[in-house]
Amino acid sequence: MLINPHTTRLPTIPGTRILEDSMGLSGLQLHDPINPLRVWMLHYLYAPISRRKVGGVRAKLIDNKGYMSFCNQRDLEVLLGIAKPGSRCHWTGTNYPEYGDCEWFGFCVDLEDLEDDLLERELRIREAFPPGILPSNIQLTRRVHDANADYEELHMLLYDMDRLTGYGPDPRLETISQRWVRVERTPLPWELADT
């Protein structure tokens, strides 16, 4: 087990859910269980989200064609070889599934994962601008892998301020979905994507 998320304190980088300690896993590469040509590199670990069916930390991974995805701690422990399918997962109280089981999630994203990724990208954009409010209409493109679907998204920054108060800049995670709008989502199968 990586950690017991129920008993271990997990400090995050202020303003984000990115864990300060990546447990030595940043840069680790994993081969995709479906496509061995697809290699995922672990970038960050994120704090658990309590309402999820499978809790624990979340790993953000980017593959060799630039697609981003997340993996829950339970499935990540199997992919890393820390746990074997069928053995007991002590922090969930259930058995570890194997790839193909109905309980296996693997590489996928949900709304919180997408918001966490968008905030991280926004923070990198902020580093490129002098302190102050980001100009409206900045665009960013990201490739996303969700379960068995691959797609590319185009996002645009509407404004860099809190919509209710008018104060800016506003780098908060809580308001990320109000600042950015998805303009386009295009299916882009991994096999057709350039590297």
pTM: 0.94
Residue 83 has pLDDT above 80, yes or no: yes
How many Cβ atoms are within 10 Å of 101's Cβ, its own excluded?
Answer: 12
Backbone angles phi, psi at 101, to 5 degrees: -65, 155
Question: Can you tell me the mean pLDDT for 81-100?
Answer: 95
What b/e string do you get for 60-79 counting C-beta neighbours within 10 Å, with b at 16 or more?
A: bbbbebebbbbbbbbbbbbb
Q: Would you list the domain boundaries of the chain?
A: 29-107, 112-192
Which sign does the torsion angle of CA 95, 99, 101, 103 carry?
positive
Q: For residue range 139-164, what is the model confidence (pLDDT) as tens digits?
A: 999 999 999 899 999 999 999 999 88
Give the total residue count for the chain: 195
pLDDT value of position 130: 84
Q: For residue range 53-79, what is the model confidence (pLDDT) as tens digits?
A: 888 999 999 999 999 999 999 999 999
pLDDT value of position 106: 94
